[in-house]
Amino acid sequence: MSTPPLIRVVEREALVYVRLWRGLAFTTFVQPALYLAAMGIGLGGLVSAHSGSVGGLAYLDFIAPGLLVASAMQLAAGESMWPVLGGAKWMRQFHGVVATPIGPGELYGGFVLWTALRSMLGAAAFLLVAALLGAVPSAWGVLAIPAAGLCAAAFCAPITAFSITQDSDLSFPMIMRLGVLPLFLFSGTFFPINQLPGGLRPFAALSPLWHGVELGRAATTGRFDAVAIVTHIAVLVGCVVVSALFGVRAFAKRLSS
C-alpha cells in the first residue's frame, strides 16, 4: 500500500513538530489562556456590566470562538512565511524533497495540509481552555476545530504561494501588519461587523477570517443558519482552491525550473 505524497510531506512536518514540541507548548496552551483571561473575562466583564450581551451572547461566549479561529489564522500566516522561505532558500530542505519522487505541487499541498492540521491542534487546545472557562455553551463546539483548520488553510494557501516567490523576508512584516493584523481586529472577532460603519461592512464580509469566525461561532454557540454555513465553507474552500492554482505553479517555478 503506498502512502500519498501529500501525506509523506505531512509526516516530515509532524516529526519536526513532535521533536520540537516543548518550544511550541507555550503558544499552544498559554496564549489562549492569556487572551481569554484578558479579553473575555477582563474586557467581557466591562461589556456585560454595560450592555449585558453581544447579539444575545455573553461577551466571553462571543469572543472565545473569534479568538480561537483568529489564532489559527495568525499561526497559519506565520508558518506560511518564514518557514517557506527557509525551505526554499535558507535551509533548502524543499530542494531535498523535490529530488525524491515527490513533486513541487505535492510539496505545496502537503505543506498547506500540515499547516491546517497543526492549526487544528492549536484550536483543540484553545477549545479546551475555553470550555474550562465556561465559554463553550454547545457540544457542537468541537466543530470549531475543523472550522479553524479550514480558515488556516484559506490563509496558508495564498501566503505560501506568495512566500515561495520571494527572495528575502522583507515583505513578511508588512503582510503581518497591513494584512493579518487588520483582519484580526475587524473580522467579527472582537465585535460584530454590523458595528462597523456601513461602507466598511462589505469589506469585512470579504475577509476569509470573518467566514471562519462565523463558522467557529456557530459551532461553539450551537446557533446556526444552514445557508450561511454552506456559504462560509464555500468561500473558504474557494480561497484554498484558487490559491492552489497559483501555489502549485509557483512551487514548480522556484524548485524545478
Partner 1 sequence: MSAPMIEARALTKRFGPFVAVDGIDFTIEPGEAFGFLGPNGAGKTSTMRMIGCVSPRSGGVLRVLGDDPEHDGPSIRARLGVVPQEDNLDTELTVWDNLMIYGRYFDLPRAEIRERAAELLEFVQLSDRRDSRVDPLSGGMKRRLTIARSLINRPEVLLLDEPTTGLDPQARHLLWDRLYRLKRNGVTLVLTTHYMDEAEQLCDRLVIMDTARIVAEGSPRQLIADNVTREVVEVRLDIDADPASEVAKLKRFGDRIEALADRVLVYTDDGDATASAVASDGFDPASVLVRRASLEDVFLTLTGRTLED
Q: Give the DSSP per-residue string, 61-103.
A: HHHHHHHHHHHHHHHHHHHTTHHHHIIIIIS-HHHHHHTSS--
Write down the H helix ranges in 187-225.
201-206, 208-221
Nearer to partner 1, 11 or 225 (CB): 11
Q: Which is nearer to partner 1, 115 or 207 (CB)?
A: 115
Residues 6 or more apart from 182 whose CB is under 8 A from it?
none
- What is the footprint of partner 1 within residues 3-32 (CB under 8 A)? 3, 8, 11-12, 15-16, 19-20
257 interacts with partner 1 by CB under 8 A? yes
Residue 92 within binding range of partner 1, rule CB under 8 A: yes
> For residues 101-120, which are near partner 1 according to CB under 8 A?
101-103
Return the bridge partners of 57, or none: 54
- Closest approach, Cβ 94 to partner 1, in A, equals 8
Cα–Cα distance, 186 to 196 (Å, whole number): 8
Determine, following the binding rule CB under 8 A, whether residue 255 of this chain makes contact with partner 1. yes
- Does the footprint of partner 1 cover residue 97 (CB under 8 A)? yes
Among 57, 64, 98, 156, binds partner 1 (CB under 8 A): 98
Stretch that binds partner 1, among 96-104, 129-137, 169-177, 204-212 (CB under 8 A): 96-104
* Residue 112 beta carbon to partner 1: minimum distance, rounded to whole angstroms: 18
With CB under 8 A as the contact rule, the residue among 17, 24, 48, 95 that binds partner 1 is 95
Integer angstrom CA distances of residue 142 from 99, 115, 147, 227? 39, 19, 9, 20
The DSSP bridge partners found for residue 245 are: none
Q: How far is CA 199 from CA 134, 183, 196, 206, 231, in A?
A: 35, 16, 8, 13, 22
Residue of 48, 93, 165, 166 interacting with partner 1 (CB under 8 A): 93
List the one residue out of 16, 1, 32, 252 whose CA is nearest residue 136. Answer: 32
Q: Least distance from C-beta 62 to partner 1, angstroms?
A: 40
* Site map (CB under 8 A) of partner 1, residues 208-237, x = contact: ------------------------------
Retrieve residue 118's grid coordinates: 497543526
Our CB check for partner 1 shows the closer of 93 and 138 to be 93
Number of residues that bind partner 1 (CB under 8 A): 25
Residue at grid coordinates 515561495:
164
Nearest C-alpha neighbor of 98 from the set 9, 167, 15, 16: 9
Report, in Å, the least distance between residue 75 CB and partner 1. Answer: 19
99 sits near partner 1 (criterion: CB under 8 A) = yes
Query: 78 — phi, psi (to 5°)?
Result: -60, -45
By CB under 8 A, name the binding residues for partner 1. Answer: 2-3, 8, 11-12, 15-16, 19-20, 91-103, 255-257
